[in-house]
Structure 1
Amino acid sequence: MADENDTSDKTEDPTQKRLDDAHDRGDVAKSQEINTWFVISGATLVMSTFSGSIGTGILMPLRNLIANSWMIHADGPGLLALAQSLEYVLIGALGVPLLLLSLAAIAGNMIQHRLVWSGESLKPKFSKVSPAAGAKRIFGKQAAANFAKGLFKVIALGAVMTAILWPERHRLESFMHFDPAMLLGATTGLTVHLMGAVVAMLAVVAIADYFFQYRQWYERQKMSLQEMKEEFKQSEGDPHVKGRLRQLRQARMKKRMMAAVPKASVVITNPTHYSVALSYERGMSAPICVAKGVDSIALKIREIAGKHDIPIVENVPLARALYATVEIDNEIPVEHYHAVAEIIGYVMGLKRGFSGRRV
């Protein structure tokens, strides 16, 4: 699969979304050598731990069967009962070892990646029957790596077996004269020793192969600049659409602000840039900002305030400070209470027909 597509333009590291999508499709970094190592390790553990119980569990029933063979009925029901009894014997003797081997095979997959359920690999693909794609797989990096890996395993296994068995060659020759009942016990230790060495050798192969497979998988997930742009549009939204939505939100907010200006109690302004409309009624804990703006919006707020006889008070530093610190429909900050209170008092005095102190 690593060579199925031209990756010359895929120069960017994959995003987390790309990696997650690959996992959901069942495309994961996986080394078969890891699975092989776990299975062989499990088999070594089973042989070293359960070989005696397996032999006894099978030997005794078979011995009884042979000793009492004259009692076996050769008709259909008798042979069926015999087959069932042998089945129970084998399950009892091999059940736990086979369960451990199954768990080892599952562990070999789970240690490489989390569980995934996907039918993507079952779907028909033209690349699986395409001669060109097949030629790329045969002569690609993966095929070369598999050949080198297989050659190394053959050489390494041969070296390991030679190193272990050559010193035992005279002992192996004597096995020809052993009683068959003693042969199993005599060879068990040597077999476990040999398998332990094979497990150690395959561990090196499995680790190296996993890193190679992971690198191949990671390279396969790399993205082109165009793919990154498309993913950004899908995950974050089209920038043009987002800009249009932002414009619509700003237009609605402006319309709502302008509709609230006639309800304001006072407009505090810097005549050339800032306008902040505040609303206050008796019983409120603090004045509320109902509209604010700069430049053209500030001018529009002053125009509407003038049409509705809303007092406009010029206070340059206060207008700037309120614009920077208060949001629409929020109360003014505590640090501006005193300054705003003076202006509200002045405005309310004007409404009652009294002249107050001008600020």
Structure 2
Amino acid sequence: MAEETGQEKTEQPTEKRIKDARQKGDIPRSRELASTALLLASAAAAILFGGNVAATMISIMQESFTLDRQDVFDTARMFTHLGEALYEGFFSLWGFYLLTLLAALLSPIALGGWNFSGQAIQPKGSRINPLSGLKRMFSLKALIELFKALAKFLLVGAFAIMVLWLDRPDLFALAREAVEPAIAHSLQILGWSFLVMSLSLIIISLIDVPFQLYDYNKKLKMTLQEVKDEMKSTEGKPEVKGRIRQLQREISQRKMMSEVPEADVVITNPTHYAVALKYDQGGSGAPRVVAKGVDFVALKIREIAQEHDVPLLSAPPLARALYHATEIGDEIPAGLYQSVAQVLAYVFQLKRYRKRLEEAPEPLRDEDIDIPEEYRKDPDE
């Protein structure tokens, strides 16, 4: 679509874009990471369980080469011996099976996570289209894969030669050992060799994993028009609208709470309502409501005010009047100028008293605050 419209994919993929891609089976994957995990698991299994495997294999060989005449000419007994040997050999390798299975199951979690998609296995014409195949063969991704394959071949080959060179005394010594210790020793050498060679794959994985994440993100990037189209298609859904409204409320509430420390006074009910006022004494405007709320929100406003030494004044009739007559950011209505002026005068006198600039003011009582009848609200409202 970006090619058709001529727009560049400059926008990061949205959650919906990523979710849709996962549903189609399109997730970031690193073959090198999976190969490294399997090789490390095999190395660990050889080191940890090599001795037991060697002992079992020697026991199987001893039993297989010590058959009597009756066993040799009795087909049923031969099949019995063969079955027992296969059974013992199979179960002696349980450590290898377990560790490699865990590596195969857990390695996808490190990049992309587990994902089951029926769409990924559906037949597509583009997969058998010769032209599409040629495009894939000569694409940048194909060249990168070729480079990785060559790098892996050279690195693993170099590490393998180094391991053989370092282990040559042990390898030559195997010929002088008895069968049982020689097999156990061989498995130990094999395990450590795998471990050393896996270091080369770790180096490649450390390069490949970030590249796969970058390439996946680049592939899912969107044009500005695609983002707008997606927003139009999702905004109409009730759950999306509800989520948007919830986020808007949360953002608005966080902004409101950040204004409380700058307030001059918080007028309370004292428990059900709280209204925070800010007055710019050098300005020409009226006092402004910077925060308001009921119940839990009112409690949070009071807590923040106490933390920042903002005066709290219990004036239930005025708190209810301000709450119902204003919105956040509004200046107080003209009808409440006198009421709020009484409160602010008291608060400013109290601040000067705390600084020992004047005597303590007389306590301000509810009945001292004059509230016009049209602004009075019933306590139950």
Give me the TM-score of the superposition, normalised by structure 1. Answer: 0.61
Q: Secondary structure at the match of 2:33?
A: helix
Structure 1 pair 173–75 and aligned structure 2 pair: CA distance change class (3 A): closer
- Give CA-to-partner distance per residue, 1:193-223, whole Å, 9 cap, x none: 3222211111010121111111111111011
Preserved CA contact (<8 Å) 1:10 1:225? yes
Name the residue aligned to 2:123. 124
Preserved CA contact (<8 Å) 1:44 1:195? yes
Name the residue aligned to 2:90. 91
Preserved CA contact (<8 Å) 1:57 1:92? no
Quick one: distance in 2 between partners of 1:131 and 1:7?
Answer: 27
Structure 1 gaps of 5+ residues are: 243-284, 293-315, 322-333, 345-359
- Give CA-to-partner distance per residue, 1:8-36, whole Å, 9 cap, x none: 63232111221122223221110000000
1:318 aligns with 2:350: no
Quick one: distance in 1 between partners of 2:130 and 2:144?
Answer: 21
Q: How many residues in Structure 1 have an aligned counterpart in Structure 2? A: 264
Q: Which amino acid aligns with 1:184?
A: I
Quick one: distance in 2 between partners of 1:167 and 1:160?
Answer: 10
- Give CA-to-partner distance per residue, 1:108-142, whole Å, 9 cap, x none: 11221222111111112222122232122111121
Name the residue aligned to 2:144. 145
Quick one: distance in 2 between partners of 1:13 and 1:96?
Answer: 44
Structure 1 pair 67–173 and aligned structure 2 pair: CA distance change class (3 A): closer
Q: Secondary structure at the match of 1:67?
A: coil
Preserved CA contact (<8 Å) 1:7 1:220? no
Quick one: distance in 1 between partners of 2:61 and 2:68?
Answer: 10
Structure 1 pair 56–169 and aligned structure 2 pair: CA distance change class (3 A): closer
Query: 1:183 Cα shift?
Result: 3.6
1:165-314 alignment runs, 5 A limit:
165-169=164-168, 172=171, 180-237=179-236
Quick one: distance in 2 between partners of 1:138 and 1:5?
Answer: 23
Structure 1 pair 319–235 and aligned structure 2 pair: CA distance change class (3 A): farther
Preserved CA contact (<8 Å) 2:50 2:188? no
Structure 1 pair 208–318 and aligned structure 2 pair: CA distance change class (3 A): same
Query: 1:78 Cα shift?
Result: 4.4
Preserved CA contact (<8 Å) 2:46 2:188? no
Structure 1 pair 180–54 and aligned structure 2 pair: CA distance change class (3 A): closer
Quick one: distance in 1 between partners of 2:210 and 2:103?
Answer: 20
Preserved CA contact (<8 Å) 2:24 2:119? yes
Quick one: distance in 2 between partners of 1:318 and 1:209?
Answer: 70
Quick one: distance in 2 between partners of 1:124 and 1:171?
Answer: 53
1:115 aligns with 2:132: no
Quick one: distance in 2 between partners of 1:108 and 1:210?
Answer: 12
Structure 1 pair 174–217 and aligned structure 2 pair: CA distance change class (3 A): same
Query: Which shifted more, 102-111 or 15-24?
Result: 15-24
Query: Which shifted more, 74-83 or 229-238?
Result: 74-83
Q: Which amino acid aligns with 1:155?
A: L
Name the residue aligned to 2:14. 15
Structure 1 pair 74–319 and aligned structure 2 pair: CA distance change class (3 A): farther
Quick one: distance in 2 between partners of 1:27 and 1:163?
Answer: 39
Q: Secondary structure at the match of 2:93?
A: helix
Give me the TM-score of the superposition, normalised by structure 2. Answer: 0.58
Quick one: distance in 1 between partners of 2:204 and 2:185?
Answer: 30
Quick one: distance in 2 between partners of 1:227 and 1:205?
Answer: 35
Quick one: distance in 2 between partners of 1:82 and 1:13?
Answer: 64
Q: Give the root-mean-square deviation of aligned CA atoms.
A: 4.0
Query: Which shifted more, 226-235 or 188-197?
Result: 188-197
Q: Which amino acid aligns with 1:318?
A: G
- Give CA-to-partner distance per residue, 1:152-181, whole Å, 9 cap, x none: 122212222233323555664565566555
